[in-house]
Amino acid sequence: MKKLLIATLIASATSFGAIAQTSTTSPMPAPKADADKNAPLPGANSFTEGQAKSRLEANGYSNVGALKKDDNGVWKGTATHSGAQVNVSVDYRGNITRN
C-alpha cells in the first residue's frame, strides 16, 4: 500500500510541471523586424482611426496623436516610443513604420 501511495505521489508531482508549461496567451502582432520591408504599403485600409491607434499602443507606442489617412490609405500621425516623439504610419496590413 505504501509503494502505491508513493508511486501515485511521484506521478502526480511530475505531471504538474507539464501543466504549468501550457500557455493560453493569444498571438502578438508581428514585431517590427517581421513587417513588410516595403511598408507602409498603399491599399484600401479598413482600419478605423481607433483601431490604428490601438495597434500602435499594443506595440509600445503611447501619447498617440490624431491620425489621418493619406491618399494611399495609410494612417499617419505622431506618437511617443522609448521617450521620443516619432512620426508613425500604419498601413492596410497593420505594418507600423516610423517616418
CB neighbourhood size of 74 (10 A): 23
pTM of the model: 0.61
Locate the domains of the chain by residue range. 40-99
- CA distance linking residue 95 with residue 7, whole number of Å: 53
Contact by Cβ (8 Å): 97, 86: no
Residues 35-45 have a mean pLDDT of 77
Asked which of 42-46, 69-73, 83-87 is least confident by mean pLDDT, the reply is 42-46
Is the pLDDT confidence value at 24 over 50? no
